[in-house]
Structure 1
Amino acid sequence: MRPDGERLHEERTGPSIRPTNDPRAARTRQMIFTAVDTLMREHTATVSVSDIVRTAGISRSTFYAHFTGLDVLATDYLRSQLAEISQSGVELRRGDLVSGTLSARIGYRRLIAHMVEHYPLYSSVLELPPTRTAHNAVVDAYAGQIVQSMRALGPVPAGVNPHVVANYVAGGALTLIGAWMSGRIEASDDELVEQLTALLPTWLLEPSA
């Protein structure tokens, strides 16, 4: 069931901070992601930096050393989920465990379920104008995963630019999911999955060998 228009309390500052390869930094970022998961399980309607640092047991300065705001956190968190979903889909297709269409349905179902569960965090990325840069970053990350999947599963048809198709698919899917989550599109979860799958190019579902 999708939320009824709750909005994220936005806290932002400064430019994006890139993660480093420092294992301590990786542990801290994971603590922040775990805190987000904990808050979402509590079915909170909004989330703030104060909520996250309290749950993670870290200081605000530590949070801002890794993320300049909630929009950047949401972008990085969704990027990690997209990578997991994409890799899972490639493995299913490579192992001939499911058809391309069923793999797409599974992937969209996982994405929708994850975004609904984390709606208070993702609403900023998908809905609020001040975070357009974060929205674009999510689309870029999603498109990048789609391009990787295309290359892993086989050649694209002659004359097709994979980056153009990937941006079209990623931008369209995230826009539709965002509209559905905010109540601008009326559909059940399954109906949304079917529509998203039907909009994919046939060759992307069943690429030629």
Structure 2
Amino acid sequence: MSQIENTDPRYVRSRLKLRAAFLELAHEDPETLTVSAICERTGIDRATFYRHFATMDDLIADALGDLADQANRQWEATSTGSGSQLDESTAIFVIYLKHVEENWALYRWALGPNGSAKTLHALLERSAIGVAFELHKLDPTLSEEEVAFRASFASGGILGACVHWLSTDKPSISAEELAARILDISDQRLHRIVA
């Protein structure tokens, strides 16, 4: 996250094409994802692929992390710092979880036992950023270290619940039900954490 982002338009276009091709292919069958398949789909050569990503795991973490970042930005835009924007937070979380549900095989594979540790860590980090944002607003007197610790704890629970949800061949509950359960538990815990 702290690395300097290349903003050259050609670089950005190539990166976006690689992400889009990954998501298309992953939706079709995540087990067949290879650098060759991504390059064939995009028309981008392998050398260019490797200028962007050292490994396929890096592309997976980047693409899925970017989707989580988009959800975080939406959520941060609605945050009032009161912790009371539960309906808005639920709606944004549901949109994100519906994306996960629509790409069930991909997320189940990427976050499962044979998946990518980089992806797991990327999503954990993104979740912690969102929680830390709210914690800063709820209690500005908390130290950076305390916010980071509490955010890591809470985001681990959120991601753990999602991984549990993904542990079956198909969803056992809807995205709406999962969002409501996670946010209800998080809301109760957040108020205890801040208090």
* Bucket of the pairwise TM-score, normalised by the shorter protein: 0.7 to 0.9
TM-score by structure 1 length? 0.71
Gapped runs of 5+ residues in structure 1? 1-17
Alignment of 1:104-183 (within 5 A): 104-129=89-114, 131-151=116-136, 153-155=137-139, 161-183=146-168
Offset of 1:25 from its aligned partner?
Answer: 2.2
TM-score by structure 2 length? 0.76
- Counterpart-to-counterpart distance in 1, 2:12 and 2:38: 16
- 8 Å contact 1:156–1:162 — kept in the other structure? no
Flag the structure with higher helix content: 2
- 8 Å contact 1:71–1:124 — kept in the other structure? no
- Counterpart-to-counterpart distance in 1, 2:150 and 2:20: 33
**AA matched with 1:126:** L
Find out whether 1:192 has 2:178 as its counterpart. Answer: yes
- Counterpart-to-counterpart distance in 2, 1:72 and 1:166: 24
Higher relative contact order (CA 8 A, sep 6+): 1
Find out whether 1:61 has 2:47 as its counterpart. Answer: yes
**AA matched with 2:88:** S
**AA matched with 2:100:** M
**AA matched with 1:44:** E
CA offsets 1:32-79 (integer angstroms, 9 cap, x no match) = 112234335xx4132412332222111223222212233221211222
Offset of 1:101 from its aligned partner?
Answer: 1.2
Offset of 1:179 from its aligned partner?
Answer: 2.0
- 8 Å contact 2:107–2:166 — kept in the other structure? no
- Counterpart-to-counterpart distance in 2, 1:20 and 1:116: 30
Over the aligned positions, Cα root-mean-square deviation in angstroms equals 3.3
